[in-house]
Structure 1
Amino acid sequence: MSFTALSTAAAGLKTTQAAIGVVSQNIANVGTAGYVKRTLDTVAQGVGNSGVAIGTIGRILDDAALKQLRLETSGSSYTSMMADVRTQLDKLYGTPGTTTALDGVMNDFTLALQTLAADPTSAPARSTVVSAASNLASKIGTIADGVQSLRTATENQLSNDTTTASGLLSSIAALNTKIAATNDDSAKADLLDQRDQTINSLSGYLDVQTSPQRDGTVTVITASGVTLVDRGAAASLSFDGRGTLTPDSTYSTDPAKRGVGTITATTPGGAKIDLVASNAIRSGSLAAGIELRDTVLPQAQRQLDDLAAGLSRSLSDKSAMGTAASTSVGDGFDIDLTGLSAGNAIRISLKDASGTQRNLILMPSNKSPAATVNPADTSDPSATIVPITVTSDPTSISTAIANALGSTFAVTAQTGIGAGGVRILAKTGSGAPAIQGISASVTQSGSPTDVQNGQTQIPLFIDSNGKGSLYTGSFDGGSQLTGFAQRITVNPTVVAKTDTLVKSSTSTQTSDATRPQYFYDALTSASRTFSAASGIGGISAPYTSSVQDFTQRIIDAQGAAAATAQNLDEGQGIALATAQSRFASSSGVSIDEEMSKLVELQTAYSANARVLTAARDMMDTLLRI
């Protein structure tokens, strides 16, 4: 009996000593990032299970809490980057209402025009208009340059994050290999901690999920199902960054057309997956970077391009509206398109027999065949876009329109309403849709120097594209709209002859307020249609307002977006803190709990030691008999 007690006490002493070691390790690692609380499992042994033996060292891990922690980590990285960049973007526009903000500079320009309209003979007032116009063009360009700088910084951040994420994948695969080959429980627990911490770090860059394997390894996949790590094999991630980005730098699935970098995953077998094209990354800093670079910041650029285009064309273009016409051939409209230039879109509203209404945009081009047009670069991407070729011959307009519309429409020249007059009729009985209306915005000057053209409109703002050309919205050399915010400048002809702000011809009186008053009204009260791609007023619908109102709406939209991003980030921060707390409460080390266990184990150790002492004394007594 004494031998049994001796054996049991010795086993208990050994087991208790091992448990004290585990508890001591837990206490020593309080606050260590990634450390998961350890426990020691014991095994009953001996006759009647009277003894005890050391089992295995395990980790107290709440899989659900760990999964939630990784999910919230990805979300927090996403919202943090979005809030940071959107805040920087909002600051580019200045504090609304201040003289240096975009709306303040616009207001200064319209005020200068109003002052000139009140006193057209004032040379200082004319100089103030030119100065205010230059400041406005410069402000728009400066903001647009800032937008592209943010895009370039985001491109560089994507490159750095991709490299870091690829390194983490390699580390996970290496840890998988070590875990599968390790038999020591304590060492394996340390490796498991390292691997979990590495996966947690990876989740900050992209959304990942894990699938445990029987050998202790894990498979890491994206939420969209792309396998990144399979046991000891990891995919490598690469990013082919393009350096400094411009407004023309856009993403495309066609490598020959792509102007920005993409993230490519190369599997151990050599297969390559474009993670951007496949939409495989949906959260984390990489997802935020892709969205900012390819959606958020290009939309900000488009808003500025639309503003610059509206500013220029509101002063240089004349609105041509069709007037109803009806003949024995059919019903339609007459419209004067004299001076139609490449890019001066002709908009035709049609309604078919079923009552369905659609818009048709005829886009003039000086090329043959006509330049192709991306619908996203027009004011209405839902419209049917038909490029047409026109020449300096006014009759070419009616011919081009007739060829575009087909035989169900009758298109003829109407020189009685102007050199470029056109009559467009839907032929009766042809099945052609009814024409609801026709309009166009026609540039009135033939060149930047044509500022005394007898019209109230002049090209006060032009395109400094190396040639100092008119801005007409042309697509002949690519979209003239793209990047126009960086190129808009005040017409040097007007700067040199400020009296042209008043005199529409050599015979115009210097006291004639017609032209400056027109400029003021064109910016503050006349309505223009801005593209749906700008995102102002809706995601997929064009927005109609004055140029001044559009300026204010841009600032309001950016400010609201920045505030929303910050609120989302704050909410996500709370969600992340909650997930961290939940994980810590289940898998983290509680110093009070561990100290309590330590006291219990010390008591058990003392009890086992007393049994051994008693057994020893009994043996000594027996041996002395």
Structure 2
Amino acid sequence: MALDAFSTATAGLRVTQAQIGVVSQNIANVGTAGYVRRTLSPVSSGTGNAGVATGTIGRALDAAALKQLRSETSGASYTSLMSKTRSQLDTLYGRPGDSTALDGVFNSFTLSLQTLAANPTSTAARATVLSAANDIATRIGSAANGVQALRSGLETQLDIDTEKANSLLAQLAKLNTRIVAASAGDPSRPDLEDQRDQALTSLSGLIDINAVTQSDGSVSVLTSSGVTLLDRSDAASLSFDRRGTLSANALYDPDPSQSGVGTIVATTPGGGKIDLLASGAIRSGSIAAAIELRDTVLPQAQRQLDDLAAGLSRAMSDRLATGTVPTDGTKGGFDIDLTGLSAGNALTLTVQDGSGTQRNIILVPSYQSPPPAIPAGNTDDANATVIPFTIPQPGPGRDPATVRDAIAAALGGGYSVSSAPGGAAGAMRILSTGGATLVAASASVTQVTSSSDIKGSTTQIPLFVDGASAALYTGSFDGGSQLTGFAQRIAVNPAVVGSAGSLVGITGTGAGSSTGDGTRPQALYSALTGTQRLFSSSSGISGIDAPTRSSVADFVQGVISVQGAAAAAAQDLDEGQSIALSTAQGRFASASGVNIDEEMSNLIALQQAYAANARVLTAARDMIDTLLRI
């Protein structure tokens, strides 16, 4: 009996000592990142399970809490980068109301026009208009350059994050190999599993992943969309073809040969390649946020600034032509004056089919033959039917009939185009003769022939030009979209700077001829603040996928309002996600983290158990000694 007690107490001491070692290890790693609390559960042994043996060391892991933690980590990384970048974007426009902010500089420009209209003979007022015009052009260009700087920074960040993800996958593959090789009782195995879980959590901050534990102890890693990145010890290799500094023309295209930005490609161990961007495989994490910002959010911000620059320029040089119902009682269409129609002066026809559904047909004139193909997204309505057509360049020698014939040919059957009775030479009548019903017609028609045409008989003047070539802005697509990147290129016309009197001096008849005539600056002011213009659906100002109709002044406010609201919403979302992440971390820590109070309590209990086993040994020894002395 004494020998049985001796054996049992010895086993108990051995187990208790091992348990004390585990508890001591937990206490020593209470602040170690990624450490999961260790447990050791003794197992019964011997005849009738009267004895005890040391079990294996395990980890107190809550798999559900760990999965939630990785999901929230992905979400937090996504919202953090989104909030940070949107706040930086909002800062580019300045604080609303400040004199140096976008709206403040624009208001200064419109105020200078009012001042000049009230005092057209003032040389100082003319100089102020030119200075204010230069300020608004510079401010728009500065904001647009900032947008592209943010995109270039994200391109660099994507390169860095892709390399991090690639390194983590390679690390996970090695850890899988070592964990599978380690036996269940190997004391190094929990440490390896801790390292693997920490690597998986780090990877989840970059890409939304789903880790699947295999029967041999290894894990496979898939994106939430189902693309396998790691299968036990076989890891995909991720690569990113960074493009460097980005411009407004550098946009994403699923075809790598046509894309102006980099894409992420996963190369499987077998040599297969998967474009993770084209397949939409990455949906959360910092990489997903960087992709969305670079390819969607910031290009839309660039488009807003391009539209603003174009609207500012065309408000100075264009006349809005709106279709009117024929006064002679003819039904089924509109009369519209397209005198001076230039390349890029799109004619928008709103039509309605038999079900009442409305859509836009956009006719885009070109000087090229054949005309260039024009994506709908580069026009005012991304959902419109876009029809490019060729016209002769405007001038005294152009026959208006050629323009009418070109429009008729572009529209095809179902419509007729003729001269408008009693209208100007360039006025035409467009009627529906069997096609969809015409609901509206409009165009922005350039009224000056070139950037040097600054003293015409109309109130329009090419105050702003395309600074890359000092060319007149008409929205042309000949040689590429003139709109794309125009925010960086808009500049005050050097011809107007060299002849400030052209701001008020209008030769000929009609609007006046005196250098003291305030008609032109007043008309320019009205064109900016009162005239309703059409701005593209791609700018997203209206909040719906449809063109926005507003004055240039209201569009400026719309840009600032939309970006400010988006930045605030991103910040709120990030704060909410931070709370969700904190909650997930707390849940995981409560089950798998080290609680120092609990561990100290366990240590005291184990010390008492150790002392009890020691007393049993002492008693057994005394019994044996007594027996030996008999």
TM range (shorter): over 0.9
Pairs within 5 Å for 1:141-540: 141-183=141-183, 184-325=185-326, 331-392=332-393, 393=398, 394-414=400-420, 417-427=423-433, 431-465=434-468, 467-505=469-507, 508-540=513-545
- Note the alpha carbon deviations across 1:476-506, whole angstroms, 9 max, x for none: 1111111000000001111010110111216
Partners of 1:491 and 1:119 in 2: how far apart?
22
Partners of 1:559 and 1:349 in 2: how far apart?
32
Partners of 1:389 and 1:43 in 2: how far apart?
89
**AA matched with 1:589:** V
> Is residue 585 of structure 2 the alignment partner of residue 580 of structure 1?
yes
- Note the alpha carbon deviations across 1:113-145, whole angstroms, 9 max, x for none: 000000111111011000000000000000100
**AA matched with 1:515:** R
Identity rate of aligned residues, in percent? 62
**AA matched with 1:121:** T
Q: How far did residue 596 of structure 1 move?
A: 0.9
Deviates more, 1:119-128 or 1:536-545: 536-545
Q: How far did residue 452 of structure 1 move?
A: 1.1
Q: How far did residue 354 of structure 1 move?
A: 3.9
Partners of 1:207 and 1:433 in 2: how far apart?
48
Partners of 2:625 and 2:151 in 1: how far apart?
85
Please give the secondary structure, in 2, of the residue aligned with 1:412: strand
**AA matched with 1:215:** D
**When the two structures are aligned, how many residues end up with a matched partner?**
621
1:325/1:331 contact within 8 Å kept: no
Q: Which runs of 5+ in 1 are unaligned?
A: none
Partners of 2:289 and 2:2 in 1: how far apart?
71
Partners of 1:327 and 1:574 in 2: how far apart?
68
- Note the alpha carbon deviations across 1:213-253, whole angstroms, 9 max, x for none: 11100111111111111101111111101000000000001
TM-score when normalising by structure 2: 0.96
Please give the secondary structure, in 1, of the residue aligned with 2:364: strand
- Note the alpha carbon deviations across 1:328-361, whole angstroms, 9 max, x for none: 9974323221211011011112233443332211
Q: How far did residue 418 of structure 1 move?
A: 2.6
Q: How far did residue 327 of structure 1 move?
A: 8.3
Q: How far did residue 624 of structure 1 move?
A: 2.2
Partners of 1:233 and 1:25 in 2: how far apart?
33
Q: How far did residue 386 of structure 1 move?
A: 0.8
2:506/2:515 contact within 8 Å kept: no
Partners of 1:390 and 1:415 in 2: how far apart?
22
Please give the secondary structure, in 2, of the residue aligned with 1:536: coil
Deviates more, 1:345-354 or 1:593-602: 345-354
Q: How far did residue 382 of structure 1 move?
A: 1.9
2:36/2:194 contact within 8 Å kept: yes
How has the CA–CA distance of structure 1 residues 437 and 537 changed in structure 2, closer, same or farther, with 3 Å as cutoff?
closer
Partners of 1:352 and 1:44 in 2: how far apart?
83
Please give the secondary structure, in 2, of the residue aligned with 1:110: helix
Q: Which runs of 5+ in 2 are unaligned?
A: none
2:110/2:525 contact within 8 Å kept: yes
2:322/2:443 contact within 8 Å kept: yes
Pairs within 5 Å for 1:74-85: 74-85=74-85
Q: How far did residue 550 of structure 1 move?
A: 0.9
Partner of 1:23: 23
Q: How far did residue 2 of structure 1 move?
A: 1.0
- Note the alpha carbon deviations across 1:54-89, whole angstroms, 9 max, x for none: 111111000111011111111111111111111111
Partner of 2:135: 135
Runs of 4+ residues over 3 Å off in structure 1: 325-331, 352-356, 413-416
Partner of 2:69: 69
1:333/1:423 contact within 8 Å kept: yes
Deviates more, 1:405-414 or 1:601-610: 405-414
**AA matched with 1:339:** G
How has the CA–CA distance of structure 1 residues 176 and 248 changed in structure 2, closer, same or farther, with 3 Å as cutoff?
same
Partners of 2:432 and 2:13 in 1: how far apart?
102
